[in-house]
């Protein structure tokens, strides 16, 4: 099957039919496809090895966002999330972006920062300079010993930086180890390296090494994505539903972004929308979403005040240009990515070759999600879309089954009466017909 992600009517299919399409798209084996189908696929033995004191497992829905075209390649995007509308919104934003070639994305080398805190240093400024003066030796030593086996995969310690911090507990020297983690997220690898190098830093500085730990502010490991949404496409997207001009929609989305740029109260929600997409892919692939969340919000504060992780502008033709830049502390080799059976299949569905490619996909999904939210918020509001899904849930609660669910839901939305009692009345009438 051709790897095309713009599969029309995907949302109308049964989960079984969707699985068949995903299986063909990604070339999954029968066993891999089964891992998607079965519940309780994370067996007790595996779960018991993953964390402590295991008593069971829990499950969340895994959805597939369609339409993503990133750097000319089609992707189906696995998303693990409990919130309705997110997968639909990402798919829709990607569909509208396809008209102008989809997303273009880039990423930096996968450099994570490890920190070693040195206290009781007599002359912190001199110690910081002395460590820098010996950095070539330190790097050579680290990459020869290679305690976390990164050099073998093309990574390793790349650079050393030092900072002197004036803290409430006095001055301290902070050493930053800049480590190329290749396809690893790198936390375990870097924490190990910190412990190996700490005695060297103690020797040079005459101080005492305390914390030796990765920084989740992964500002050297970032991914960027960009997309253009044509004003005509934006206008068409509302045809029949609203009387908005393409030009106006572009302006309103830029105003919505400007609001977030100038107000942390709005920026927090703006970024939450981005993380709806980012976290869903991070979770689907078994990555550490707390690490990615912490990094994203710290990065959002880098200009001295908390702000949005995206920006919007107009190109010379008046089309909307959306851009995102986020830190991406994610990997393909460690953590649950290689142990969780569904995470392994999610990586296969994505068809990413390395952690950099995964980070570019994640940035594109974050941008798509943010665009979808702003498009709705700046025009008709998000409740309309939410209400449709909510109405379906209410219809099911009232006992509707099969095709009746959509009929009952549509009627309630039309009447703007989304209540179980009304759903039951509509259902009764349907049965009488
Ligand atoms: P890991 O230690 O499980 O795996 C990394 C190792 O995989 C490398 O050291 C390397 O030897 C090997 N490897 C194989 N192929 C590789 C390749 N192509 N590129 C790079 N390395 C390759 O995982 P990790 O990434 O070091 O740590 C990630 C885990 O650490 C996450 O599960 C996270 O939850 C956890 N963690 C996070 C934090 C934090 O974010 N602050 C702190 C502690 C632990």
Q: Tokens 């078994």 appear where?
A: 286
- Rounded Cα–Cα distance for residues 433 and 430 (Å): 5
Catalytic residue list:
83, 272, 288, 386
Q: Which of 188, 216, 218 to mutate to test the pocket of ligand 1 (most atoms within 8 A of CB)?
A: 188
Average pLDDT on 54-78 reads 96
Distance 86 CA to ligand 1 centre (A): 29
Residue indicated by tokens 């750097």: 71
Token pair in block for residue 405: 């669910």
The pLDDT of residue 43 = 87
Tell me how far the alpha carbon of residue 302 lies from the centroid of ligand 1, in angstroms. Answer: 26
What does the block give as tokens for 287? 């990555």
Band of pLDDT at residue 391, cut at 50, 70 and 90: confident
Mean pLDDT of 178-187: 97
Query: How far apart are the C-alpha atoms of 405 and 410, rounded to whole Å?
Result: 9
pLDDT tens by residue, 224-247: 999 999 999 999 998 866 679 999
| CA-based max dimension of the chain | 88
What residue owns the CA closest to ligand 1's atom 32?
A: 335
Residue 340 CB neighbour total at 10 angstroms: 21
Query: By three-state DSSP, how is residue 157 classified?
Result: strand
For residue 177, pLDDT beyond 80:
yes
Q: Is the pLDDT of residue 39 over 80?
A: no
Question: What separation in Å is there between the alpha carbon of 309 and the centre of ligand 1?
Answer: 26
Kindly give the number of the ligand 1 atom that is closest to the alpha carbon of 185.
25
- The residue length of the chain stands at 433
Phi, psi of 311, rounded to the nearest 5 degrees: -140, 150
Which ligand 1 atom is the nearest neighbour of the CA of 336? 32
Q: Report d(CA 327, CA 281) in Å as an integer.
A: 14
Cα(186) to centroid(ligand 1), Å? 4
Asked if residue 335 has its Cβ within 6 Å of ligand 1, the reply is yes
Model confidence at 193, in pLDDT bands (50, 70, 90)?
very high
pLDDT tens digit sequence for 251-295: 999 999 999 999 999 999 999 999 999 999 999 999 999 999 999
pLDDT in tens, 409-427: 989 988 888 899 999 999 9
- Residue 376 Cβ contacting ligand 1 at under 6 Å: no
Ligand 1 atom 17 nearest Cα: 183
Nearest CA to ligand 1 atom 34: 288
Instruction: Please tell me the least confidently modeled range out of 46-55, 210-219, 307-316.
Output: 46-55
User: How confident is the model at residue 1, as a pLDDT?
Assistant: 61
Q: Which mutation among 183, 215, 327, 335 tests ligand 1's pocket best, with the greatest number of atoms within 8 A of CB?
A: 335
- Ligand 1 centroid–CA 101 distance in Å is 34
Specify the residue with its C-alpha closest to ligand 1, atom 24.
186
Give the ligand 1 atom nearest the CA of 290. 40
187 lines ligand 1 (CB under 6 A): yes
Nearest CA to ligand 1 atom 19: 183
Q: What is the pLDDT of residues 200-225, one digit of tens each?
A: 999 999 999 999 999 999 999 999 99
- Mean pLDDT over residues 390-415, rounded? 88
The answer to whether the CB of 334 is under 6 A from ligand 1 is yes
E strand or H helix that includes residue 320 = strand 320-327
Mean pLDDT computed over every residue of the chain? 94
Q: Which atom of ligand 1 is nearest to the CA of 154?
A: 19
Residue range 14-24: average pLDDT?
95
Binning pLDDT at 50, 70 and 90, where does residue 3 land? confident
C-beta of 332 in contact with ligand 1 (< 6 A): no
Q: Provide the pLDDT for residue 359.
A: 98
Q: What is the model's pLDDT at position 387?
A: 76
How high is the pLDDT of residue 148? 87
Cα 281 to ligand 1 centre (Å): 18
Nearest CA owner, ligand 1 atom 30? 187
Lowest pLDDT segment from 10-14, 99-103, 167-171, 344-348? 10-14
The predicted-structure confidence for 108-141, as pLDDT tens digits, reads as follows 999 999 999 999 999 999 999 999 999 999 999 9
> Counting atoms of ligand 1 from 1, which one is nearest the CA of 291?
40
- Residue that is written with structure tokens 């005459």 in the block: 206
To which residue do tokens 């179980």 refer? 420
| Cα dihedral across residues 239, 241, 243, 249: positive or negative | negative
pLDDT score, position 294: 98
Between the CA of 131 and the centroid of ligand 1 the distance, in Å, is 26
- pLDDT tops 80 at residue 297: yes
Has this prediction a pTM greater than 0.75? yes
Ligand 1 centroid–CA 190 distance in Å is 8
Would you say residue 390 has pLDDT above 90?
A: no
Distance (Å, whole) CA 378 – CA 375: 6
* Residue identifier of the C-alpha nearest atom 35 of ligand 1: 187
Q: pLDDT band at residue 382, thresholds of 50, 70 and 90?
A: low
pLDDT at 385: 65
């Amino acid at each position: 099957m051709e790897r095309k992600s713009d599969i029309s009517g995907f949302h109308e299919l049964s989960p079984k039919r969707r699985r068949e399409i995903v299986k063909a798209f990604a070339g999954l084996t029968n066993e891999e496809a089964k891992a998607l189908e079965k519940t309780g696929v994370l067996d007790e033995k595996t779960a018991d090895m993953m964390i402590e004191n295991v008593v069971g497992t829990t499950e969340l829905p895994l959805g597939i966002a369609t339409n993503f075209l990133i750097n000319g390649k089609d992707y189906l995007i696995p998303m693990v999330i409990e919130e309705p509308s997110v997968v639909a919104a990402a798919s829709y934003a990607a569909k509208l972006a396809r008209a102008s070639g989809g997303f273009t994305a880039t990423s930096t080398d996968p450099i994570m920062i490890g920190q070693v805190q040195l206290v009781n240093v007599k002359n912190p400024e001199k110690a910081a300079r002395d460590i820098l003066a010996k950095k070539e030796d330190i790097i050579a030593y680290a990459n020869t010993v290679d305690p976390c086996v990164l050099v073998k995969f093309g990574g390793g310690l790349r650079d050393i930086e030092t900072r002197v911090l004036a803290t409430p507990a006095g001055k301290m020297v902070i050493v930053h180890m800049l480590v190329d983690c290749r396809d690893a997220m790198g936390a375990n690898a870097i924490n190990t390296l910190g412990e190996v190098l700490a005695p060297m830093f103690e020797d040079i500085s005459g101080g005492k090494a305390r914390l030796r730990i990765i920084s989740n502010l992964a500002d050297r490991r970032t991914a960027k994505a960009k997309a253009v949404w044509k004003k005509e496409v934006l206008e068409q997207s509302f045809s029949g539903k609203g009387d908005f001009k393409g030009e106006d929609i572009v302006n309103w989305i830029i105003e919505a972004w400007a609001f977030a740029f100038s107000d942390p109260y709005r920026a927090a929600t703006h970024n939450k929308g981005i993380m709806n997409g980012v976290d869903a892919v991070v979770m689907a692939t078994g990555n550490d979403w707390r690490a990615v969340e912490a990094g994203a919000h710290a990065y959002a504060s880098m200009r001295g005040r908390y702000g949005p992780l995206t920006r919007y502008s107009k190109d010379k033709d008046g089309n909307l240009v959306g851009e995102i830049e986020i830190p991406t502390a994610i990997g393909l080799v460690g953590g649950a990515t290689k142990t969780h059976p569904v995470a392994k299949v999610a990586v296969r569905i994505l068809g990413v070759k390395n952690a950099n490619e995964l980070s570019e996909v994640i940035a594109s999904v974050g941008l798509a999600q943010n665009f979808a939210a702003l498009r709705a918020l700046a025009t008709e509001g998000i409740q309309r879309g939410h209400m449709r899904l909510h109405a379906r849930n209410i219809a099911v609660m009232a006992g509707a089954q099969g095709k009746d669910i959509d009929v009952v839901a549509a009627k309630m939305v039309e009447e703007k009466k989304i209540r179980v009692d009304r759903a039951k009345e509509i259902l009764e009438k349907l049965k009488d017909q």
